[in-house]
A and B are shown apart, each in its own frame.
Chain A
Amino acid sequence: MTSEQENVYDTSKCRLLRTYDLSEVDKLFLFRFEDPEKAQNFRFKPGQFVEVSLLGLGEVPISICSSARRVGFFELCIRNAGRVTSAIHHLNPGTLVGIRGPYGNGFPMEKFHDRDLLLVAAGLGMAPLRSVFLYALDNRWLFGDITIINSAKYANGLLFQKELEAMKDIATAENISIVQTVTRDPDFDGLHGRVNTHFDKVNVDPENCTVAMCGPPPMYKGMFEECIERGYDPRYIFVTLERKMKCGVGKCGHCNVGTATSWKYICKDGPVFGYYDVLDIPGLI
C-alpha cells in the first residue's frame, strides 16, 4: 500500500488450511493469516463477521464461528448459496483468500457473565452462536446453566450436530443442555418441532438468563413473545441479523434499516441487537 493511512477496504491474505462438510450445503473453513504477526494479533468478539474476498468474483460477509480464545486461526461456516459462496465451496486447502475485518459490534459478552445462557439457533443460526457457546465453554466459571436449542428443517441440516452430540456426556456433567430439533424430517430419530415448542426442556432460570438468538427473521417475533411470556428479562435478549452488505463499515448503504428517527446500519450498529433496539427500530426484524 502506498498511502499513509490504511485503506479500510484493503484485505489481508489468509490461507485456507482445512475444510469440513457440515451438511450438503454448509462447510466449515479453517483460515490462518499469512502474515504471522497479523495471525497472532487478530482478535474478534463472538457475533462479529469478516468480509471474504475471492479476487475476480467479489466479497461476502461471513460470521466467525470459532472460539475467540484460540489465537492464530479462525473458522467460518459458509453455506453454498450464491456465486461467491459457491466458489468458496470449491476451494482446496492451501488456497489464499482476502479477508478484512472483523466488523460489527458482536455480542456484549460482559453482559452475559454470571448468568445462565440460552442459545437459540435455527438453520444457519448456529454459526455465529457457536462462537458464543465456545466463549461460554472457554470461560465456564463465568456462566451458570447453559442450554442450546439447535434446529433445522432436516436432520442433515443441523449445523455442528455431531460436535454437539459428541460432547453430550461432558455437557450433562457441566450443566449444559443440548436440544436438537427438526421441523420437516419425519425420519429423524430425535426431537421434532420448532424451537419454541421445546422451551420446557430449557434448563435455565429465566429471570437470570441471557438469551442469544440467530435464525431466519420470521422466527424472532414469535421467540420474543415466547421469552417474555416465560419471564425472561428483555434487557438480556439479543438477536443477530443478516442483510446485504458490501463495505462492512457503514458506507455502502445496503444494510440500512429503520425509519426517519431510528436509522441504523446492520454492519456497523449491529449485527447484534437487543430486544429494546428491535422495539425502537421498525423493520429491524
Chain B
Amino acid sequence: MRYIKMTTANTYKFLENLKDEATLYAPTKISEQFYDFTEIDDVDDVEFHYNRTIRPPRRFFYPEEETMFRFDTDKVELYENTPREGRFVIFGVHACDVVGLRILDAEFIDEQPDPYYKMRRDNGIIIGLSCLPDEYCFCNVRRTEFVDKGFDLFFHEVADGYLVRVGTVQGHKLLDPYPELVGEVTQEDIDYMEDFEEKRSSMYTLQGNWDSLRYFLEMRLDHPMYERESEKCLGCGNCTLTCPTCRCYDVKDVPSIDGKTGERIRFWDSCQFRSHGLVAGPHNFRPTKESRFKNRYQCKNAYCEEVTTAYCVGCGRCTYFCPAEINFKRNLMEIGGYQGVGD
C-alpha cells in the first residue's frame, strides 16, 4: 500500500478540487446533536471530528426509496430505471462504516448482482477518516476498527495534517493530478499515528473480541434479556434504519391515476415492523415483538463470510438513536457473559 502525507491546508485544497470533479459528500453538523453526510458546497463545513452520522453511508448506494422500474400495464412491460447519478465522493467514512459497505457488497453484488446498487458502487469513491471512539463504540471487539479494503483513500490524523493510505487504483488516480498537494510520510507522522492508535485503543470501553458471541447467542435463545428488553421496544425501526448493514427492503407498485402506467418502488423495510413477516392468510412468521427483537440480535451477529466479521460493525448507532434507550451493546454483553455488565 502507498502512504503519503497531506497537510491540513492541502487537504482542504484537495477537497476543493474533488468537488469540481464529482459530487462531494462529507460529514457536517446538522443540528446541536447530530451529524450527517451532506453534499458539500463549502469545504469549510466538513467536520473532521465527529462520532457518528445519523444516517449510514449505505443510502448513497441503496437509497431509502427508489423507483426500480416504470411500467406499462397494458403492454405488461417494465422499463428499467437504473441510476443516472454521475461520479460522487463520500469523504470522512469511519472504518466501521467502510466495513459496513463491504458487507452490503457481499449481499448485493453476489452471483445475482443488484444492478442499482452495483451501478452506484461503481460510481462512488470512498475516502476513509480516522476517529476516536465514544462510549457507544465497540468496533474494536468486532474487529472493524481498522480496515485494509473497501476505501480508495484513508485519511489518518497526524499532527499537522493526514497520513493517507491509498487503497485502490482509483485512489492513486485521485492523487495523480495534484502532486503539489502530496508529501512524504515522515518518522514524526508514523510516531504520531502509533500514539494515536494507542490512545484510541485505550479509549474503548471494551477490550478483547466478540468472535464467539454468536455461539452464545445461539445457545441462549431463551435468555430472559429478550423478553425484558423487547418489552421496552417501540417497534419504530430506528435501530435498523440507522444500521450501516441493514438491508431489508419492501417493494410496492404505484399505479398512475388511470392505471395504465406506474412505478415499481422499493423502500427500506425493518424486521422490527410487524408487517415484515406477514403473509397472506394472514399468517405472520414473526408475530411477536420478542420474536422480531430476537431476529435482529441473531441477524446482526451472524457471520459474513466474505468480510469475515459479524454483520454488526459496532458503530453504536442503534443504541445512540434508540428512543426507548435499549442498549444493544450492553444486551449483547449480557448474553455473551462478558465483563462490565452492571457497571
The reply to whether A56 and B110 form a contact with Cβ atoms under 8 Å apart is no
Give min CB distance, B238 to chain A, whole Å: 17
| A contacts, CB < 8 Å to B | 1-3, 5, 7-11, 13, 53, 55-59, 79, 81-83, 85, 96-98, 242-244, 246-247, 249-254, 256-263, 282
Give min CB distance, B107 to chain A, whole Å: 7
Q: Which chain A residues lie closer than 8 Å to B281 at the CB level?
A: 81-82
Q: Which chain A residues lie closer than 8 Å to B248 at the CB level?
A: 252-254, 256
The reply to whether B221 and A282 form a contact with Cβ atoms under 8 Å apart is yes
The reply to whether B69 and A260 form a contact with Cβ atoms under 8 Å apart is no
Interface presence of B206 (CB below 8 A): no
- Chain B contact-residue range equals 35 or more
Report Cα–Cα, A56/B73, bound state, in Å.
Answer: 7
Q: Which chain B residues lie closer than 8 Å to A3 at the CB level?
A: 80, 82, 115, 119
Interface presence of B295 (CB below 8 A): yes
Q: A2-B80, A55-B76, A246-B249 are in contact. Are A261 and B218 (CB under 8 A)?
A: yes
Classify the interface of chain B: helix, strand, loop or mixed: mixed
| B contacts, CB < 8 Å to A | 68-69, 71-73, 75-78, 80, 82, 107-108, 110, 112-115, 119, 213-215, 217-218, 221, 247-253, 255, 259, 262, 264, 266, 269, 271, 276-281, 285, 295, 297-299, 301-303, 310
29 contacts between A and B (CB under 8 A): A2-B80, A3-B80, A3-B115, A7-B80, A9-B68, A9-B69, A13-B76, A13-B77, A56-B255, A57-B253, A58-B251, A96-B75, A96-B76, A243-B277, A244-B276, A246-B251, A247-B249, A250-B107, A250-B112, A251-B107, A252-B266, A253-B269, A256-B248, A256-B299, A260-B213, A261-B218, A261-B302, A262-B218, A263-B303
Classify the interface of chain A: helix, strand, loop or mixed: loop
Residue of A nearest to B275 (CB): A244
Residue of A nearest to B262 (CB): A56
The reply to whether B255 and A259 form a contact with Cβ atoms under 8 Å apart is no
Q: Which 8 A-B pairs have the closest CB atoms?
A: A82-B280, A253-B248, A260-B214, A81-B280, A56-B255, A96-B76, A263-B302, A260-B301
